[in-house]
Amino acid sequence: MSQGYLVVLCTCPDRESAMRIADALLDRRQAACVNVLPGVVSVYEWEGARQHDEEVLAVIKTRADAFSAVEETVRTLHPYELPEIVAVSITKGFAPYLNWIDRSVPPT
């Protein structure tokens, strides 16, 4: 079993861009699974103005040692100037699921 796993959060402007990123991550074996969740409303300040945007959230499950590759793929394919790419460590998890992540995402 790997020494670390991550959930990487990435908001996207629409389902199409989230699916393009998800497919690329799986094709490149950088993620084991990507959940694409519609109906997210993001409220934030950008360039001096309050924004209220409907977005889609990509929830990416991967190994910690694959983060740099995940980040590069997202940065390359994401349409935003400043995409959200935030990783949260998985401190505990169902061992068979974590083993599946290991099998899906080879060590870098």
Contact between residue 31 and residue 61 where contact means Cβ atoms under 8 Å apart: yes
Identify the three-state secondary structure at position 81.
coil
Q: Report, as an integer, the average pLDDT of 89-99.
A: 96
pLDDT value of position 2 = 58
Sheet holding 33-46, edge to edge: 33-46, 49-63, 5-12, 86-89
Stated length of the chain: 108
**Residue burial 44-69, b: 16+ Cβ < 10 Å; e: rest:** eeeeeeeeeeebbbbbbbbbebbbeb
Q: Which residues pair with 36 in a beta bridge?
A: 58
Residue 40 has what pLDDT?
97
- Domains, the chain, with CATH or none: 5-104 (3.30.70.120)
- pLDDT value, residue 3: 73
Mind listing the pLDDT tens digit for each residue in 27-83? 999 999 999 999 999 999 999 999 999 999 999 999 999 999 999 999 999 999 999
d(Cα 86, Cα 82) in Å, to the nearest integer? 12
- CA 89/CA 19 separation, integer angstroms: 23
pLDDT at 90 over 90: yes
